[in-house]
Amino acid sequence: MKPREIKRGIYFVGAVDWDRRLFDSLIPLPDGTSYNSYLIKGSEKTALIDTVDPTMEPVLVNHLDELKVKNIDYVIANHAEQDHSGSIPRVLEKYPEAKLVCTPRCKGMLIDLLLVAEDRFITVEDKETISLGNRTIEFIHAPWVHWPETMLTYLREDKILFPCDFFGSHLATSNLYVTDEGQVYEAAKRYYAEIMMPFRTNIQKNLEKIKDYPIDIIAPSHGPMYDKPEFIIKAYRDWAFGEPKNIVILPYISMHGSTRRMVAYFVEALAQRGVTVKQFDLTVTDLGKLAMSLVDAATIVIGTPTVLAGPHPGAVYAAYLANAIRANVKFASIIGSYGWGGKTVEQLVAMIPNLKVELLPTVIIKGYPREADFGALDNLAETIAQKHKEQGFV
Ligand code: FEO
């Protein structure tokens, strides 16, 4: 893909990565991703906002060559993570006059991660500005979206916000702007769940911080740009400030069918009581989808057999994930079957200290479920339905 002009003198010079399927050796990318870098020419100075993943460095360099960029005055690093900063050393080498602009904390991280020479930096404070002549860049410190050093860049005259990861989506697309809001909503929600939700309070603060800025375009560093920014700002406000909904998330795993039978019965029992249930078979599920489902669920119930005296490792992974991303659930329980004993409940409960949940009665049975066990599942479903009602979760 060629460089793309966004407005006169403002270009997309990033790279679309259609084929990447895993991020951080951890996060599934069903739809690829992009590393968005932006070139801004002012009447006197030129700035580059973020770079690209080092695997895509030649793409960025080619874009700059195609645009015949002879000089860059400022390379702005909104974030030190390598998918945006990884090509900075190459850009600094290509443009020896360029200064690297970032927060004081980001400076230390870029020195540590990329071994950038100290004399290349200009550090900027919150709300500080740099003039490009006829264009003014303002830096908005935004710590913990999603690392401690992050900032947003705001181009005042053009009313464009460059928020790096904030509002981004792992989505490879040939379109510069969002064209399919449904598709982008899902990709951005997945991104929020995996990357931003652990820092929900900071996300709230930073949403408040930008709320009075006039913004015509949001140009994130992953996924398409937003020319109707209210779409993604509203979605973020819903995710970050919203109350949980009348939803139960049920990640489960079954070895010989007993836990699976319990899950099938329990899902029906909840559905009969008007509770939405999303079940995930952990042997095949996309963990990104599981994470996304936890953004607005009120309850998590983990279904697991007991194996080697504890929960199945698949269930351990699900509990670890929910705890790590600090899902905003309010209630939790565990259901499952065992053969002769074990400490499944104790071990799983010990794994979720970040979840500020009320632990509801668990249903742990011996062998295949019998009538009394189904009764216990009915009771748990009833308790959940009542709790959701009492809290006003709809
Ligand atoms: Fe897209 Fe936190 O890097």
- Planar angle of CA 394, 357, 359, nearest 5 degrees: 105
242, two tokens? 């919203």
H-type alpha helices, the chain: 57-66, 82-85, 88-94, 104-114, 181-191, 200-209, 230-241, 258-272, 287-293, 313-324, 344-350, 371-391
Which atom, in ligand 1's list, is nearest to the CA of 146?
2
| pLDDT single digits (tens) 262-276 | 999 999 999 999 999
Residue 36 burial (10 A CB sphere; 0-12, 13-18, 19+):
buried
Contacts of 286 (CB under 8 A, 6+ apart): 28, 30
Higher per-residue confidence, 22 vs 207: 207
Q: How would DSSP label each residue in 156-180? A: TTTTEEEEETTT------S-SB---
Host H or E run for residue 78? none
d(CA 105, CA 84): 16
Q: Is the beta carbon of 84 within 6 A of some atom in ligand 1?
A: yes
What is the mean pLDDT of the segment spanning 283-301? 97
CA 49 / ligand 1 centre spacing (Å): 14
- Planar angle of CA 106, 324, 140, nearest 5 degrees: 30
| pLDDT single digits (tens) 176-235 | 999 999 999 999 999 999 999 999 999 999 999 999 999 999 999 999 999 999 999 999
pLDDT higher than 90, residue 25: no
Contacts of 357 (CB under 8 A, 6+ apart): 300, 329, 330, 331, 332
Chain mean pLDDT for the chain: 97
Q: Is the beta carbon of 20 within 6 A of some atom in ligand 1?
A: no
H-type alpha helices, 192-335: 200-209, 230-241, 258-272, 287-293, 313-324
d(CA 14, CA 91): 13
- Helical packing angle, 230-241 and 200-209, nearest 10°: 140
CA 31 / ligand 1 centre spacing (Å): 16
Q: What number of CA atoms fall less than 13 Å from residue 215's CA on the CB side?
A: 26
Q: What pLDDT is attached to residue 338?
A: 97
Place of tokens 């997945």: 190
What domains appear along the chain, each with residue ranges and CATH number?
4-241 (3.60.15.10), 248-387 (3.40.50.360)
Q: Is the beta carbon of 79 within 6 A of some atom in ligand 1?
A: yes
Structure pTM?
0.96
| pLDDT single digits (tens) 227-257 | 999 999 999 999 999 999 999 999 999 999 9
Nearest to 322 by CA among 344, 347, 296, 354: 354
3-state SS assignment for residue 55: helix
What is the mean pLDDT of the segment spanning 314-318? 97
Q: What pLDDT is attached to residue 106?
A: 98
CB 13 within 8 A of CB 64: yes
272, two tokens? 């009969």
What is the mean pLDDT of the segment spanning 378-387? 98
Q: What pLDDT is attached to residue 197?
A: 97
For ligand 1, atom 1: residue with the closest CA: 165
Q: Is the beta carbon of 50 within 6 A of some atom in ligand 1?
A: no
* Strand 4-7 relative to strand 10-12, pairing: antiparallel
For ligand 1, atom 2: residue with the closest CA: 81
3-state SS assignment for residue 99: strand
76: left (phi over 0), alpha (psi -120 to 50) or beta: beta
What is the mean pLDDT of the segment spanning 285-290? 95
Give Cα 39 distance to the centre of its chain: 25
* Strand 245-252 relative to strand 276-281, pairing: parallel
- Looking at the chain, the whole-number percentage of residues with pLDDT higher than 70 is 100
For ligand 1, atom 3: residue with the closest CA: 81
Q: Is the beta carbon of 165 within 6 A of some atom in ligand 1?
A: yes
pLDDT higher than 90, residue 1: no
d(CA 89, CA 71): 15
pLDDT higher than 90, residue 5: yes
